[in-house]
């Protein structure tokens, strides 16, 4: 048998976006309390790396050598607002939940011409999360 027949085909099974943050512990606390994620791990003392997840979305946080939002869309000066687009089901219900939790929501869900209804949330580090649901149009 050839090597390709003996080995399983590679399969990508997930990913975790990494945001650079100055205070890893405070960021994890914010994502858990305000955005409804759960803490997956917290590494180091003081923490230098951590991970949170909610449903099928994982986000990691790393403390950079130099302080500041080094990898945000706002810091880079891009035309896009979102640092992370998260596809959801129940966009209006999620919006209400996050408002009730005290999230920094920048406006209500909007139906966009490209077939997505979405809203944006700024986290405590200035990263912008865009939660969107296909509208079927």
Mean pLDDT of the chain: 90
Distance (Å, rounded) from C-alpha 24 to C-alpha 19?
A: 10
| Domains delineated in the chain | 3-134 (3.10.180.10)
Q: Is the CA virtual torsion 105, 108, 111, 115 positive or negative?
A: positive
User: Residue 2 pLDDT > 60, yes or no?
Assistant: no
For the entire predicted model, the pTM comes to 0.87
- Express each pLDDT in 56-81 by its tens digit: 999 999 998 887 656 777 777 776 78
Per the CB < 8 A criterion, the answer to whether 78 and 69 are in contact is no
- Express each pLDDT in 17-61 by its tens digit: 999 999 999 999 999 999 999 999 999 999 999 999 999 999 999
Per the CB < 8 A criterion, the answer to whether 133 and 86 are in contact is no
Distance (Å, rounded) from C-alpha 130 to C-alpha 86?
A: 6
Q: What is the pLDDT of residue 127?
A: 93
How does residue 3 score in pLDDT terms, banded at 50, 70 and 90? low
**Percentage of the chain surpassing pLDDT 70?**
91
Q: Are strands 57-62 and 110-111 parallel, antiparallel or unpaired?
A: unpaired
DSSP category for residue 29 = H
């Amino acid at each position: 048998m050839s090597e390709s027949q003996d080995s399983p085909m590679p399969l990508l099974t997930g990913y975790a976006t990494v945001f650079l943050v100055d205070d890893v512990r405070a960021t994890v606390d914010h994502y858990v309390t305000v955005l409804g994620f759960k803490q997956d791990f917290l590494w180091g003392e003081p923490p230098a790396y951590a991970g949170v997840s909610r449903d099928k979305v994982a986000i990691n946080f790393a403390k950079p050598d130099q302080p500041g939002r080094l990898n945000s869309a706002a810091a880079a000066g891009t035309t896009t607002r979102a640092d992370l687009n998260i596809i959801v089901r129940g966009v209006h219900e999620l919006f209400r939940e996050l408002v009730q939790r005290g999230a920094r929501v920048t406006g209500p869900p909007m139906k966009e011409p490209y077939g997505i209804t979405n809203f944006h949330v700024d986290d405590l580090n200035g990263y912008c999360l865009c939660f969107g649901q296909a509208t079927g149009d």
